[in-house]
Every structure is written in C-alpha cells, then in structure tokens.
Structure 1
Amino acid sequence: MQQCTVELLKSFEPLSEVPDDQLQWLLDNGECREFAVGETIFEIGDTFTATSFLLEGKFSVYIQQGNQINEIGISEPGTISGYLPYSRGKVSIVRVICIQEALVMSVPIENIQKATKMYFELTEALVHTMITRVRFATTRQQQYEKMFALGKLSAGLAHELNNPAAAIGRNASSLAELLNNIPKIFKQTAGLKLDHGQMELFQERLHEIIDRPDKPELSMLEKSAKEDEFTDWLMDQGINDYAFAEVLVYDGFTIEDLESLAAIPPEHALIPVFKWLSYHLTTSRIVKEIEEASSRISELVGAVKNFSHMDRGGDKQYINIHTGLESTLTMLNYKIKKANVEIVADFAHDLPLAKALAGELNQVWTNIIDNAIDAMAVNGKGILTINTKKERNNVVVTITDNGPGIPEEISSMIFDPFFTTKDIGEGTGLGLDVVMRIIEQHHGSVKLKSEPGKTSFFVCIPIDEK
C-alpha cells in the first residue's frame, strides 16, 4: 500500500484546487486504514462518524430495492464518502463492501467541522462533493421509483391481460372441436327430412327466447338448481348432456321454453334437433366470450396508451382529466381487486378540459392512488373515493381513502424528498415529491387533509395557464 500524501489527495478531482496546507491538515487530523477483500466499510443504517477518502482499491456499493440488495456501482480511488459538511444525511443508505484491497483515510466528524471554520477552499470542495452526491442519489432514486412503479403496474397488467388471453385460447380450442363435429351434426339433421314450416317455426321461437331483453340474474345456487332441473328434463327425453344444461341456463331458457321447442319437430327427430341446438348455442356462447375477452384486451391496450400518452408530443394540451383517472384505475385494477378496495367515482359531468401534460398527471394519480391502496391494506378492505369538480378557473381532483390516516406530526413532511412511512425497501419517499413537482410545473397546488379514517389529497390544476 502506498503512503497517504498531499500529492495523493491532489489526485481527487474535488480536492485538486485545495491549497497544500489544508490537505496537509487533513492528513494530520485523519487516520489511514487498510481494508481486505470482503470487509464492509458501511452497512445500511450505519451512522456516519467520519469523512472517508478512498486512496487505493475498490468498493462495491449496494442499495436495498424491494426485498433485494442490488449493486448500483463501484467506488474507485478518488471517492469521498461518509459525513460531508452541511449535509442532512446522517446515516448510510447503502452497503459498501471492499472488492479490491483498499486504503482509506478517515477524518472524524469533529475535525471536519473544525475545518469548515478554518479553511474555505477545503469546505467548498467537500460541499461540492455533497451536492454531486445528492444529485446522483436523487437521480438514482427517481429512476428506481419509476422502475418500481412500472414493475408494479406491469405485474398487474400482465395478470389482467392473462385472463382474457387464456379465455381466448381456451374457447378457440373448444370452438375448433365443435366445428370439427359440425359435418356429423349436419348429416344427422339433414337426413331427418324435416318439414320446412316446422324448421321455420323452430328458428323463430328459438330467436324469441334468445333475444329476450330481461334475462334473470341468478346466484350460484340458483344456477346450480336450474342446471339440475334442465339435466333431469333432458334425460327424460333421452338426452344425456350436462354441458347443454349449463348453456341453457346461460341463455336464460326455462322448462316451458324447452317444451315449446320440443313440440315442434316429430318425436323421432327430437334428439338430433336438440343436439344441433346444443351445438348452436354453445358455439354462439363461445364466440361471445371470445369477443368479450378480445374487447377486454383492447381496453387494456387503450388504457396503456392513454396512461403513457405515447401518441402526444411534449407540449401541454387541453385534456380530459377523467380519461387519465380512468386509465390509471384500469392500470391499477389488479392491485385494487387484490386489496379488496371499492372505487367510488364521483365525476362532474360538466368538467372542462384542462391544459396539461397528460402523461405527467397520470404519474400524479398513480402515486396518490397507489399510496391510498397501501394505506388501506391494514383494514383488509377500503373505499377509495375520487371526486372531480370545477372551482373558479381550476379543475379540482379530490382523492380520499378511509385508511388509518396520517399523524399530524408527520403530515408536514410527506412531500419532502426521501421521506417515507413505509418499511425499508418498500418505498423511496419520492412518490409524493414527484407529485408536488409535477403539480408545481402545472402552476397548480396539492394539499393534504387527514384524520383517522379519512385522508384526502386535493389536487388543483388550472384550466388554462393564462
């Protein structure tokens, strides 16, 4: 290991312009220590006791993200870490482990504090290092906040897309099987040589039944009882097809409907005709389910497009605030259902368009709603109310949850960067800071009112900046 010298400290970019006598003072008031590979210099949560100068070797830097500890960079010779003058950072938010034999000079806090009163150039260099570190940490954490939010949205969206996609695949397979059997059914019914008038009457009565507008809503028990009733009736006619009974319940048939249809064809033709009816109704049901599933996928894709606003430029435009709120709720739908949260949307019908950046505002809605869902998790359920209204020349969006509330002693700090009430790894403390910065960018305001059982965020956005 080389010796700690003024020349070596001069190689540190922030210290390159510091006078030699001030660097010599650092050497005289510091202590050099060697680190072996695998040793830890800082652990997450450690209180800083000194300013550290990495003279030789390398350290790997890790940060906690979610439930994992991930590497975010390598510290090389010339790095200044630990305590820095005028910094509010008193504890380490990273884990630092030696990966190459290292030499570190540490200067105790009390000596650094003395230096701030004695040496302007040295203090200036250390403060510049602090500002650079804060800028780097903020950028890193903002990127992580966005990726963390994107990860949660992606997981929910993947789940939401998987259900209709699986339904399409399952129904397509069933439809293919039915279509393969159509020639057989056609042969059976064609060979019956049914009277044309009878078939016309059968088709007419069938459409009257299917097209009824007031089909009853049945509970699971009622559906099961109906299916058993239809199965018994079909078996009495020599038709053993439980799946057919399920389809009849789905389409709102009654026993009286079946008897009226059964009275039309000759007795010898009843089983083949009802077999055809089973295939016809099942095919129609499958086509309808595929249509509904594909519409759901299209709706989700549309929500993603609206949420990201990928089809608009970077300038503010007059937008419908409701569209962004609805897209955000769609994106968070999986989390909302999982948390057993009821959404109450009290939207003003005459809400005017507001000049804004839609994609930026969607980040605001996402951060506030996501926090509200997390807050209500302690109850195992919740009610999230979203109210919109016009107030003078502003659009006001109020988002209220019935969670436990935010204690008065911390309510003034929740918009501060890096302040979070969540456990380590579950939040970065930047969500509401992002909300505040975006709303200020729109020349609006965001306020909080909280009490046990009711927390409301009031977001005020000018309709027009002018």
Structure 2
Amino acid sequence: MYAVTADWLQSLDALQEVPAAQLQWLIDQSDVITLDTGSYLFRPGVPHTGTYIILEGSVQLYNLQHNEMNELAVFGPRSISGYLPFSRGKVAALYGVVQSPLTYLCFPVGRIQELISQHFELTQALVHVMTNRVRDYTSMIRQNEKMVALGKLSAGLAHELNNPAAAVLRGASALKQQMQLMPAGFEEIASLCLAPAEVDVVKKKLMEVLQQEDRPRLSLLQQSDREDELYQWLQQHGIKNSAALAENFTEYDFTTAKLEDLKAHIPDNYLSPIFNWLHKNLVTDKLVADIEEASRRIGQLVTSVKTFTHMDQGTAKQLTNLHSGIEDTLVILGYKLRHSNIQVVQELDAQLPLVPVQAGAINQVWTNLIDNAIDAMGTNGSGILRITTSHTGNQVQVAITDNGPGIPDDIAAKIFEPFFTTKAVGKGTGLGLDIAHNIVHQHKGRLQVQSQPGNTTFTVTLPLSNEPQTVTA
C-alpha cells in the first residue's frame, strides 16, 4: 500500500499552506486506489466518486470531436482532479483514461460537506484548485471552439471558392479554344467583298447587342420557343451551325424580326459567314463575362471574409452597419444553408441606425446564432431562417428565427450555461451561446430566447449611440 503523509501533501503547491492536521484528516478519510493502463478514471455522464490526488502514473484528458479523440491535457503525479468543494461539476464532462499504471488518493464525495464545515484552510485550497482548473479549462475550450469555428469557416469558404475558381478555369480554357478559331473565321470574312455601308451595319448591330443591358428574362418555355423559331429561320436561309447560333442568339435577345432587319443589309451569299462571325464574337463576349462574374464572386467572398473578421481593424467599438455583418455571415455560411435546404427570409429595417460595436465580435454572435438555427432545422431536411431588424428609441433589435423543433422547457434555462449542449458528442462544445451571450453583455445589450415547436427566436438588443446615423438596408 502506498504510504501518503501530510508532509508529502504539503509539498504540493496547492496544499502547502494547509495545516498538517487537516491534511492528515484528509488522508484518514481517503482511500488509495490503483488502476491499470487503459482504465478510465472518469467518463462523460458518470458521477465523480471523489477528489483525486495522483500519486503515481498519468491520466489523459480528452473529448470527442467528430468521433475522433481530441486530447486536452495530461494529469501526472501531484495533480488534483475529480470533484472539488462547491463545484457544480458532479458529473464528468470529459474522458480521463489511464496512460500509465495509476495510483491515486480518493477523498469520497460523501465527506465533502464535513470538509467544508470543519476544515476551512483545506477547503479554501481545494476551491482555489477548482477556480484555476475552470479558468484553464475554459480558456482551452474557448480556444478549441475558435479552432472549430475556423475549421467550419475554412471548409465553407473553400467550397464557396471552388465553384467560381472552377468557372474561371473552364472559361479560360473555352476562351482559348475560341480564340484559336478566330484566324479561320477572319480568313472567311476577309474574302468577302462588303461595301463600307454593309460593314457599318454589321458592326453597329454587334455593338448594340454587346451594349444591351436590359435583356428580358425568358422562361424555359419561352426560351425553347424562341430557339425553335430562330433555328427554323437560320435553316431556311442556309446558315451553318444553326443550332448553336439559335441558342446563342436567343440569349442575346435576337428575334426573327431582328435577323430579317440585318439580312436586308447583307447579300444572301454572305449571310452564313457573317452570322457565324457574329456568333463567335458573342461567344467570346459571353466567356469573358462568365470569367468576370466568377472573378467578381471570388473577390466578393474574400471581401466578405475580411469584413466578417475585420482583420484590418482594432477591437475598439465603431459605428457599424449591422446589416453588412449579417450579409457577410450569410455569405460565409452559404454552403451550409444550401446543403441544409434552408430558405433565408430577411425583413430588414431600411432606416436601421449605425450601432457602436466591435464588428468582429458582434459577427461572432450572428455566426453562432445562425449556425445553431441551421443545425436545429437540420432534422427537418429543410427550413426557413428569418432575420428581422428593427429599432425603437435608443436601441436596435436583431431577431433570428428558425422553424426547427424548438427548445424543450426543461433545458431552456440552461442553454446559456458554458459547456451545456444538446448536440451529439463531437458536434458542439456548448460554448457557442455562452460566447454570444458574453459578447452581447459586453456591449451592454441583452440576448433573449423564446421557443416553441416550429418557432424559436433569439433576439439581440443593443444600445445606440446618442446621435445615431441612418444607413440603407
């Protein structure tokens, strides 16, 4: 049996100020226990049996994320763990697996009240251990939560960037192929003997088409009918590649009437090469436009991430357009919204004032609330996310509503507690709402929730500056 003495306990930093008599009492009430490698000192959901002082061996502390072990710490000899006086953590929240043969002193939970009432210095020392443990553990988990959030952000951003980046590559490849066809087309056009007036008509028509910005949007049925009409007209006039031309000309709002008007200024034997030359120019224009749009999308995503995190700004409060932060958050979470088949409905106050906030921090609030709403609706396979902004008097409100299953009454009072989560193991750390609540509180605001099946609303209320400035929704 391992002999534990009061002198040895006093050699521990946490217990060095505790009188020897109290430490001896602790020893007399405790048991020395040994565990083999691979055994568990504690498991999630299992009550702690007491306060543990490790004499020999080591214990690995970890949780599960996506069914993978995530090591948080290792307790070695002279470490104090388990249940401590005044702690609410009577049930283990993490795994503690023995790494090497373990010998520890176990002070039973049943004697805690006697400890508190009769041994002040020992109680004080153990409470100090508890506060240090909570602070260190909270800091560690918060950092882990940030890394998880960063991982989600990175994954979503990578997916969002993949589509426009692939579009740029496809467009560039198609444009290169199109440019390679230009010499042959030029040779055919150069062989024509067009009068200057005829050249001007073709050039003018091309410029009109390229500069047209208000092209009507056709339904699929209208588009199909238009393509059929153009195809028949092109076929009747012996135009090569009629099918490709009909599809392209439809997109650029050509009609048979416009083709007839152009035909009236071109000799019949020149129609096919000139129409195909127009077609090739329009294809080139379309490819350039697609590349431009994809590049703009990439730029928009990068800008959204930058403004979302406010990487180039400090932490001081600044008058901020909350709508911009919400929009950036929706961009960041766009993939998850589409993947979960969720419709976003925004009811934004067009006269919402600027609000003095730390923009990067307040965007964390929108991220946590919207991300939780998406997860809540995930069980439905679809959902409606409603975001409403308003202002009254000297405050603004942002309400985020989902039509998920709701929050049961028996846990509604616990949702803002740190480490409390209803998500499956590995799906959440229970800090998202705690972080959001703390950020809102730091801004002198309120975070409230109302929930019933099919309608859960988190409302953020923030104070305004004395002289609000108005922005457009």
Q: Under a length normalisation based on structure 2, what TM-score does the superposition of the two structures give? A: 0.91
Specify the SS of the correspondent of 2:416: coil
Q: Distance in 2 between matches of 1:394 and 1:238?
A: 67
**1:452 corresponds to:** 453
Distance 1:241 1:134, change over 3 A: farther
Counterpart in 2 of 1:386? Answer: 387
Tell me the CA shift for residue 214 of structure 1: 4.8
Structure 1, unmatched stretches of 5+, are: none
Per the alignment, do residues 206 and 79 of structure 1 end up closer, same or farther by CA in structure 2, a change over 3 Å counting?
Answer: same
Equivalent in the alignment of 2:336: 335
Aligned to 2:440: 439
Per-residue Cα deviation, 1:113-154 (whole angstroms, up to 9, x for no partner): 332222112111111111111112211221222222222222
Taking a change above 3 Å as real, the CA distance of residues 226 and 7 of structure 1, as seen in their structure-2 partners, is farther
Q: Is the 8 A contact 1:210 1:252 kept in 2?
A: no
Separation (CA, whole Å) in 2 of partners of 1:430 and 1:85: 24
Alignment partner of 2:328: what SS? helix
Once the two structures are superposed, the pairs formed by residues 51-200 of structure 1 within 5 Å of their partners are 51-200=51-200
Q: How does 1:228-267 map to 2 (within 5 A)?
A: 230-231=230-231, 233-235=233-235, 237-240=238-241, 242-267=243-268
Cα distance, 1:330 vs structure 2 = 1.4
Match of 2:430 in 1: 429
Distance of aligned partners of 1:39 and 1:206 in 2 relative to their CA distance in 1, 3 Å threshold: same
Whole-angstrom distance in 1 between the partners of 2:242 and 2:57? 77
Residue type of the alignment partner of 1:57: G
> CA contact under 8 A between 1:54 and 1:105: conserved in structure 2?
yes
Q: Who is 1:324 aligned against?
A: 325
C-alpha contact (below 8 Å) 1:51/1:112 kept by paired residues: no
CA distance in 2, matches of 1:151, 1:107: 41
Q: Residue in 1 aligned with 2:367?
A: 366
Mapped partners of 2:34, 2:362: distance in 1: 51
1:443–1:465 Cα contact (<8 Å) kept: no
In the TM superposition, residue 212 of structure 1 has moved relative to its aligned partner by 4.8
Secondary structure at the residue paired with 1:294?
Answer: helix
Counterpart contact for 1:401–1:455, Cα < 8 Å: yes
- Output the amino acid matched with 1:351: L
Identity percentage of aligned residues: 46
The equivalent of 2:465 in structure 1 is 464
The answer to which of 16-25 and 130-139 deviates more is 16-25
Match of 2:470 in 1: none
Deviation at 1:421, TM superposition (A): 2.2
Deviation (angstroms), 1:86: 1.2
Which deviates further from its counterpart, 142-151 or 304-313? 142-151
In the alignment, is residue 353 of structure 1 matched against residue 354 of structure 2? Answer: yes
Equivalent-residue separation in structure 1 for 2:453 and 2:98 (angstroms): 47
Question: Would you say the 8 A contact 1:8–1:55 is kept in 2?
Answer: no
Equivalence for 1:375: 376
One-letter identity of the residue aligned with 1:461:
L
Query: 1:404-423, aligned counterparts within 5 Å?
Result: 404-423=405-424
Tell which deviates more after alignment, 263-272 or 19-28: 263-272
Contact 1:13 1:78 (8 Å CA) reproduced: no
> Higher mean Cα deviation, 439-448 or 229-238?
229-238
Aligned residue identity for 1:76 = G
Which residue is 1:298 aligned to? 299
The alpha carbon displacement at 1:358 in A equals: 0.8
Instruction: Name the CA shift for 1:413/1:40 in 2 (closer, same or farther; >3 Å).
Output: closer
Instruction: Using the TM superposition, give the Cα deviation of residue 88 of structure 1 relative to its aligned residue in structure 2, in angstroms.
Output: 0.8
- Counterpart Cα distance in 1 of 2:251 and 2:11: 79
How many Å separate the matches in 2 of 1:110 and 1:404? Answer: 40
TM-score calculated relative to the size of structure 1 = 0.93
Q: Which amino acid aligns with 2:4?
A: C
CA separation of 1:241 and 1:145: change in aligned 2, threshold 3 A: farther
3-state SS of paired residue (1:85): coil
2:142 partner amino acid: Q
User: What amino acid sits opposite 1:400 in the alignment?
Assistant: T
Please tell me the residue identity of whatever aligns with 2:183.
P
Report how far residue 171 of structure 1 moved.
Answer: 0.3
- How many residue pairs are counted as aligned between the two chains? 466
Structure 2: give runs of 5+ residues left out of the alignment: 468-473
Aligned counterpart, 1:308: 309
Query: 3-state SS of the aligned residue for 2:38?
Result: coil
Q: In the TM superposition, what is the alpha-carbon distance from 1:407 to its structure 2 partner?
A: 2.7
Correspondence for 1:6: 6
- In 2, Cα distance between the equivalents of 1:385 and 1:16? 57
Greater displacement, 316-325 / 64-73 = 64-73
Answer yes or no: is the 8 Å Cα contact 2:206–2:278 preserved in 1.
Answer: no
Q: Provide the C-alpha distance between the structure 2 equivalents of 1:60 and 1:464, rounded to a whole number of angstroms.
A: 50
Distance (Å, rounded) in 1 between the aligned partners of 2:18 and 2:274: 98
2:356 maps to amino acid: K
Q: Distance in 2 between matches of 1:51 and 1:94?
A: 16
CA drift at 1:279: 1.3
Are the aligned partners of 1:231 and 1:240 in contact in 2 as well (CA < 8 Å)? no
Report the AA paired with residue 35 of structure 1.
Answer: L
SS of residue matched to 1:348? coil
SS in 2 for 1:166: helix
Q: Superposition RMSD on alpha carbons, in Å?
A: 2.3
Distance 2:231 2:59 in 1: 73
1:229 shift after superposition: 5.3
How far does residue 196 in structure 1 lie from its aligned partner after superposition? Answer: 1.7
**Which secondary structure does the structure 2 equivalent of 1:26 belong to?**
helix
Secondary structure of 2:312's counterpart equals coil
User: Which secondary structure does the structure 2 equivalent of 1:298 belong to?
Assistant: helix
